[in-house]
Chain A
Amino acid sequence: MPQTAPLNDAPARAPQLQRLLYVEDDPGIQAIVKLTLEEIGRFTVLCCSSGREALASAVAFRPDLMLLDVIMPELDGPATAAELRSIPQLAATPVIFMTARNEPGELARLREKGAIAVISKPFDPITLCDEIRDAWQMEHSAVV
């Protein structure tokens, strides 16, 4: 007789969010986000200054989540996300965009590109990690 898994009424927990790939071309923003992600969120963070740099390093880093600026020279955030997610190892890795163009139409356009959340700039560095964790929890509760 096949064994059945015991029933578990406890709410399913999202996997732990640990490794973040962060792509931002503005060094001023990159510095404060890296600091808060590492020191407040206690994430392991790989910072890249361009989409190309992210494409070169992402597979080896094995991110749980990718946090991408939208407007960047050469390869913008959505194009970087599309290229990253065309790599089989990263196809299911959630993406969050960060943008200074926070008109409703722009935010909706970014969500349509498969982002689990869009964070508007300017943001509060102290609450940024909570926004990211909330999006991660929502994404995994939606999947479960």
Chain B
Amino acid sequence: MNHPIRRRVQRNILMPAAGSADTRSSSPATTHQGMKSVTDRIQQLKQSYSRQLPGRIAELEKIWGRFTEDNDPGGMDAMLDLAHNLAGSGGVYGYPRISTVSRDLHRTLLRIKEEQRAPSSDERHHIEKQLRELQHEAAATPR
């Protein structure tokens, strides 16, 4: 990725400027090897997230199923928590579409909760479409 900020960060990590306040050369991330170790560990976290993602989406679908069948009042809060977590974490771990769709889902659920009503038929269809998209995205390779 050639984003200018990232280029600047990588330059600072690999070659700290002489005399800068941040020239602790003994630190692991100041060397090429150290940076590789960090990116390897980030990669491991990403792989772990990828393994867990389908289960989290399945959990979301299960809660939605219970909510629509039994009008389980705790279901709405549980869905809001899960959608919020996915919105925050998806893009960090290479799934930007998971973040976008989950944020939209969170917004829809929050509106329903704040208005203290059952979801309309259109909202149900919309939420179910979002859940299918999340399931599809969770099976994709992270970017």
Contact = CB atoms under 8 A, between A and B. Distances in A.
B89 A122 contact: yes
A127 B5 contact: yes
B57 interface: no
A39 B38 contact: yes
A71 B85 CA distance: 9
A32 B24 contact: no
B130 interface: no
| Contact count band on A | 20 to 34
Given A39-B38, A42-B27, A42-B29, A130 B9 contact: yes
Nearest to B56: A28
A21 interface: no
A126 B99 CA distance: 18
Interface stretch (B41-49, B68-76, B115-123, B131-139): B41-49
Given A39-B38, A40-B29, A127-B6, A16 B89 contact: no
B83 to A, nearest CB: 9
Given A100-B99, A126-B10, A130-B8, A39 B92 contact: no
A124 B7 CA distance: 13
Q: Is the interface of B mostly helix, strand, loop or mixed?
A: helix
Interface string A70-88: 0101000000000000000
B38 A40 contact: yes
B64 interface: no
B88 interface: yes
A101 to B, nearest CB: 8
Contact of B42 (A16, A123, A125, A127): A125
Given A32-B42, A35-B38, A39-B28, A16 B21 contact: yes
B24 A42 contact: yes
Contacts of B92: 29, 32, 121-125
29 contacts: A16-B21, A26-B89, A28-B89, A29-B85, A29-B89, A32-B93, A36-B42, A39-B38, A40-B9, A42-B29, A71-B84, A73-B81, A99-B88, A101-B87, A101-B106, A121-B87, A121-B88, A121-B89, A122-B88, A122-B90, A122-B91, A123-B92, A124-B5, A124-B6, A126-B10, A127-B3, A129-B9, A130-B9, A130-B12
Interface of A: 13, 16, 26, 28-29, 31-32, 35-36, 39-40, 42, 69, 71, 73, 98-101, 121-127, 129-130
